[in-house]
Amino acid sequence: MFEDLIRGWDGEHVIARFDEPSSTWMLVGVHSTVLGPAMGGTRMKAYRSPDEGLHDVLRLSQAMTMKQAAAGLDFGGGKAVLAVPEVPAPGSPRRRDLLLRYGDLVDSLGGSYVTAADMNTGEADLDVIGERTSHVLGRSVACGGSGSSAGATAVGVFHGIRAAVRRAFGEDDLAGRHVLVQGVGAVGSRLAELLHEARASLTVADLDGERAATIAESLGAASTTTHHVFDTECDVFSPCATGALLSAESIPLLRCRVVAGAANNQLATSWDADRLHARGILYAPDYVINAGGVIHLAGYERLGWDDARMTARLEGIGETLTGLFDRAEREGITPAAAADRLATERIDAAR
């Protein structure tokens, strides 16, 4: 299986190290370094098998290549997985030791892979990794990093929603537009605040029902159960939780005009972009609308941008999407296919 997965992948190289003391597979996928060092987060997760972790690292690293290219950043795509038997408690000595050994592995790659946060890893973990390697982005401000990128991701998604609303409804005023935010974690909760400030009508949903209820109350929003996110009537459905949620099963249920949210890998298969299109639903390609995170990390930590430059680049996500919607119409393709063409052209031009 390991071999089949790697043979079926079009990336540059995979590093697999078994960390004996923690029984963890450390897997790094360097998908492309054509535009620059492969950058992408480290996911810590208890998978059912190392194959499952490898599958994740391969597909996520490919998506990072497309994200960096579409965002116009001089980075390639990479991703890492720490396939742990069980996720060690934050701040525990076991976790710290694992992260230090992982930092050594990242360092040994000589900068071809630059790591950051992903599921179950955050600033504190990156600070530990940063004790062993400089090829890390998103450490805490106290440790010389730029901190969490979730706020920037939310701002980018907000601009993306406006661009999509403009295309779907002819004007980008969000006042009174009904937006359903699925997942009000680090990104979704900030996005909900921005939408509230823009006077959108909000519904929020989260697996953690208490969290959804608290946020709904503080913003005067409605909340719904996770079972009803797909069939709730709204103008914009904004997935900010997990991936692979747009599928042959869920798309027929949708009662929205726009899908525009932060989650990575929203389409279960590439056919699902066509399914959305056939239903007249405008889809903002995930890796374009959620690029605020990588823009934040690259801009602040590698390119020396100031806040004004960052603000302009995050606004630019809306302009990029508008360009993609235009291109999709012109070329008779879906916005997702237009995004793939844009990213591929940038990579091919750099070869």
Using CB under 6 A, list all residues that contact ligand NAI: 149-150, 153, 182-188, 205-208, 211, 226, 240-243, 262-264, 290, 293
Q: Which is nearer to ligand NAI, 127 or 132 (CB)?
A: 127
Q: From CA 259, how far away is CA 276, in angstroms rounded?
A: 9
Q: Which is nearer to ligand NAI, 184 or 338 (CB)?
A: 184
Q: Which candidate in 31, 43, 55, 79 is catalytic?
A: 79
Q: Which is nearer to ligand NAI, 187 or 276 (CB)?
A: 187
How large is the C-alpha radius of gyration of the chain? 20
Q: From CA 192, how far away is CA 216, in angstroms rounded?
A: 9
What is the DSSP pairing of strand 76-83 with strand 24-32? Answer: antiparallel
Q: Which is nearer to ligand NAI, 215 or 333 (CB)?
A: 215
Please provide the DSSP assignment of 1-26 as one string: -HHHHHHT--SSEEEEEEEGGGTEEE
- In the block, residue with structure tokens 């697996």: 207
Which residue is closest to ligand NAI by CB?
Answer: 185
Could you tell me the smallest distance in angstroms from the CB atom of residue 240 to ligand NAI?
5
Contacts of 270 (CB under 8 A, 6+ apart): 336
Q: From CA 230, how far away is CA 254, in angstroms rounded?
A: 5
Could you tell me the smallest distance in angstroms from the CB atom of residue 77 to ligand NAI?
13
Q: From CA 182, how far away is CA 234, in angstroms rounded?
A: 12
Could you tell me the smallest distance in angstroms from the CB atom of residue 154 to ligand NAI?
8
Query: Closest by alpha carbon to 80, among 108, 111, 44, 48?
Result: 44
Catalytic-residue membership of 79: yes
Structure tokens at 169: 């409804």
Could you tell me the smallest distance in angstroms from the CB atom of residue 153 to ligand NAI?
4
Could you tell me the smallest distance in angstroms from the CB atom of residue 21 to ligand NAI?
27
Q: Which is nearer to ligand NAI, 28 or 117 (CB)?
A: 117
Strand (E) or helix (H) holding 297:
helix 292-301
- Which residues are designated catalytic? 79
